[in-house]
């Protein structure tokens, strides 16, 4: 039996991870953490019998403890609880399916406790990649990518020497507003931005996909995971979401991973790596598909992607400011407090205002996050 803990079990990645667990029957879930959806968490506890759970919200945690008083499960809350779940002694792999920079501390704690990380929480790598990657080497733990593009790159690199990577070709669907002008984007409403053409995901990442900030975060995620420079990661728009990403090697060979858009594949691949297992689901039918098309991303309209290259190339605390400003702005947009294009204005404004600190430690990263929030709050 493989033993895992899941941070963010009630979300899109978390619930699909549990579907993979259910299908395989040889994984034991030892700990779960979620934000506030205690109804679903209770169902998960009754089905998977973890020894430990955490609910971020303290009041909800108390409610849950009462609801599951008949079971042998410990209920915790807050950051202390998250760290406890991340370091639950039995778990070998921690799935980081929590959304946002809140994932940094639990991910580091899990690694320090010797756990392998099945990493979905890209915000952690974007802001603290310079801490996470060396720590993984020091603690000899694996960072197994769950993000579909990074899993595709990881699969394309099987048996290859990472030093021979010439370029990473990171594919993007282009989102629901591909081909639009900036003027047309001005009127975008929350409901429009939540309609992704190919993938069904959590709300924050769906908005990020529509602005292409998600792709920007993924470029930075790829640079850390595969040890390349920012300018070695090239975004290729491929609207059908069939090619999940590619690697071009020094000799010009390009290796790609293709498939239908289904996050269960990268999740299962991360949990069982290097073993490949059966997975039910749709298969690619090339006769039906007929064509796969490519375009360059429009970085003038989707300038959030351009800003990501600037943030990643400059480095230090700037990727944190990029990410924090985006998290803050997306939250405001989802609450209908700001217009769509304000999201990118806020990122740009916070980046211009910020004084970059080199090689920040976790405290400095969290301080830069707070500074970005405070600046946006005072400025808008
Ligand atoms: P989601 O919003 O559907 O789920 C987030 C989960 O985190 C929920 O279970 C929520 O309860 C939990 N959570 C949030 N704040 C918390 C807190 N403070 N304490 C404890 N739990 C908390 O998000 P998602 O789409 O599953 O995405 C999760 C992460 O995976 C993100 O970083 C996202 O970028 C990444 N990712 C998602 C997909 C996808 O297909 N959904 C693909 C690639 C990468
Ligand atoms: Mg992705």
Orientation of helix 342-353 relative to helix 362-379, angle to 10°? 120
Q: Per-residue pLDDT tens, the chain, 380 aa: give them.
A: 999 999 999 999 999 999 999 999 999 999 999 999 999 999 999 999 999 999 999 999 999 999 999 999 999 999 999 999 999 999 999 999 999 999 999 999 999 999 999 999 999 999 999 999 999 999 999 999 999 999 999 999 999 999 999 999 999 999 999 999 999 999 999 999 999 888 889 999 999 999 999 999 999 999 999 999 999 999 999 999 999 999 999 999 999 999 999 999 999 999 999 999 999 999 999 999 999 999 999 999 999 999 999 999 999 999 999 999 999 999 999 999 999 999 999 999 999 999 999 999 999 999 999 999 999 999 98
pTM of the predicted model, to two decimals?
0.98
Ligand 1 within 6 A of CB of 48:
no
CATH 3.40.50.720 fits 2-145, yes or no: yes
Nearest CA to ligand 1 atom 14: 35
Residue among 5, 99, 132, 323 to mutate when testing ligand 1 (max atoms within 8 A of CB): 99
Is the CA virtual torsion 223, 224, 227, 229 positive or negative?
positive
* Residue extents of the structural domains in the chain: 2-145, 161-260+295-314
How far, in Å, is the centroid of ligand 2 from the Cα of 245?
Answer: 10
Ligand 1 within 6 A of CB of 56:
yes
Ligand 1 within 6 A of CB of 199:
yes
pLDDT value of residue 329: 98
**Three-class HEC string of the chain:** CEEEEEECCCCHHHHHHHHHHHHHCCEEEEEEEECCCHHHHHHHHHHHCCCEEEECCHHHHHHHHHHCCCCCCEEEEHHHHHHHHHCCCCCCEEEECCCCHHHHHHHHHHHHCCCEEEECCHHHHHHHHHHHHHHHHHHCCCEEECCHHHHHHHHHCCCCCHHHEEEEEEEECCCCCCCCCHHHHCCCCHHHHCCCCCCCCCHHHHHHHHHCHHHHHHHHHHHHHHCCCHHHEEEEECCCCCEEEEEEECCCCEEEEECCCCCHHHHHHHHHCCCCCCCCCCCCCHHHHCCCCCECCCCCCCHHHHHHHHHHHHCCCHHHHHHHHHHHHHHHHHCCCCCCCHHHHHHHHHHHHCCCCCCCCHHHHHHHHHHHHHHHHHHC
Taking the C-alpha atoms of residue 195 and residue 206, their distance in angstroms, rounded to an integer, is 8
* Per-residue pLDDT reduced to its tens digit, 41-77: 999 999 999 999 999 999 999 999 999 999 999 999 9
Ligand 1 within 6 A of CB of 213:
no
């Amino acid at each position: 039996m493989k033993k895992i803990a899941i941070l963010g079990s009630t979300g899109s990645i978390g619930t699909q991870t549990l579907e993979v667990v259910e299908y395989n029957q040889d994984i034991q879930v030892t700990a779960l953490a979620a934000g506030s959806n205690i109804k679903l968490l209770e169902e998960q506890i009754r089905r998977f019998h973890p020894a430990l759970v955490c609910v971020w919200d303290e009041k909800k945690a108390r409610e849950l403890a009462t609801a599951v008083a008949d079971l042998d499960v410990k209920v915790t809350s807050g950051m202390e609880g998250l760290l406890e779940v991340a370091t639950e002694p039995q778990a070998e792999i921690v799935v980081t399916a929590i959304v946002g920079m809140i994932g940094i501390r639990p991910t580091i704690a899990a690694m320090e406790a010797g756990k392998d990380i099945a990493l979905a929480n890209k915000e952690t790598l974007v802001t603290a990649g310079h801490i996470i990657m060396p720590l993984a080497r020091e603690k000899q733990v694996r960072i197994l990518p769950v993000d579909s593009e990074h899993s595709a790159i990881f699969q394309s690199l099987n048996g290859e020497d990472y030093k021979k990577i010439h370029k990473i070709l990171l594919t993007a669907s282009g989102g629901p507003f591909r081909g639009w002008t900036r003027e047309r984007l001005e009127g975008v409403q929350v409901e429009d931005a939540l309609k992704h053409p190919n993938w069904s995901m959590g709300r924050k990442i769906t908005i990020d996909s529509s602005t292409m900030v998600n792709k920007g975060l993924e470029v930075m995620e790829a640079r850390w995971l595969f040890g390349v420079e920012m300018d070695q990661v090239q975004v290729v728009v491929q609207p059908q979401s069939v090619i999940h990403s590619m690697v071009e090697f020094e000799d010009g060979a390009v290796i790609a991973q293709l498939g239908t858009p289904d996050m269960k594949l990268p999740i299962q691949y991360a949990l069982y790596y290097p073993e490949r297992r059966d997975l039910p689901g749709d298969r690619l039918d090339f006769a039906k598909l007929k064509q796969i098309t490519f375009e360059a991303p429009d970085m003038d309209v989707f300038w959030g992607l351009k800003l990501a290259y600037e943030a990643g190339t400059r480095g230090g605390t700037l990727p944190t400011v990029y990410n924090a400003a985006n998290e803050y702005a997306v939250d405001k947009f989802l609450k209908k407090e700001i217009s769509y294009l304000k999201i990118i204005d806020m990122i740009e404004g916070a980046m211009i205002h910020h004084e970059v600190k080199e090689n920040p430690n976790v405290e400095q990263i969290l301080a830069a996050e707070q500074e970005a929030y405070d600046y946006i709050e005072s400025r808008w």
